[in-house]
Chain A
Amino acid sequence: DSGVTQTPKHLITATGQRVTLRCSPRSGDLSVYWYQQSLDQGLQFLIQYYNGEERAKGNILERFSAQQFPDLHSELNLSSLELGDSALYFCASSVAAGTGANEQFFGPGTRLTVL
């Protein structure tokens, strides 16, 4: 158990819908990262937050947004869902930001299926 929690574990929804994925980092970790794992794209970085502020952005679609709250939990919002958004979404956390040295600990993931 990495200490990172993600809810829900599974999510099945229809095209055009909007969903919210939630992540609670390990106690004491200030950085939260979101990654998408799909068969064709592999593991791709989406976005990073550090202590409530956006730190880095990857290949995140405009239909997707995220935020980190004062209690450090984070939410990833996916809207106007398409079939191609079906994937495993991981949240990871690390102690701090700036060095790249801190290993990222991953949550169990949320499997999103868009029908």
Chain B
Amino acid sequence: AQKVTQAQTEISVVEKEDVTLDCVYETRDTTYYLFWYKQPPSGELVFLIRRNSFDEQNEISGRYSWNFQKSTSSFNFTITASQVVDSAVYFCALSGIITQGGSEKLVFGKGTKLTVNP
């Protein structure tokens, strides 16, 4: 069965600090996809990034960066120079592929609540 663990329930930082959100996953699928979503206080879920299991290159998008390590089954998310607007709950998620016996449903972690204080 697929499982996503976000061990950090809540993190509080001061503006301009860097912060890393951890995500560890379990799956028996050989091909799978990893995602990060942001849920601000308004409640909607905002897609941030998708990564497939064959691509271990790190990705940077502005102040956001992602580190995918297949060897440790981790897909961590770093926010550099955090801002108050980054305050949200962040979810890591995993999906499989139907053609390989998996499922396209997203399996979510419990989320990490990030609070950035001014």
On A, residues with C-beta under 8 Å from B are 2, 31, 33, 35, 42-45, 48, 55-56, 58, 88, 90, 92, 94, 97-101, 103-109, 111
**Residue of A45, A55, A98 touching B106 (CB-CB under 8 A):** A45
A99 touches B35 (CB 8 A): no
A100 touches B95 (CB 8 A): yes
User: Interface readout for B29-62 with A: 1 if CB under 8 Å, 0 if not?
Assistant: 0011101010000011111001010000000000
With an 8 A cutoff between CB atoms, is B98 at the interface?
yes
Minimum distance in angstroms from A33 CB to a CB of chain B: 7
On B, residues with C-beta under 8 Å from A are 31-33, 35, 37, 43-47, 50, 52, 91, 95-99, 102-111
Closest 6 CB pairs of A and B: A106-B45, A45-B105, A43-B108, A100-B97, A100-B95, A100-B104
Residues of A within 8 A of B97 (CB): 98-101
For residue B93, which residue of chain A has the nearest CB?
A43
CA distance A18 to B46 in the complex (A): 29
Residues of B within 8 A of A42 (CB): 108-111
For residue B94, which residue of chain A has the nearest CB?
A100
Minimum distance in angstroms from B114 CB to a CB of chain A: 17
For residue A44, which residue of chain B has the nearest CB?
B108
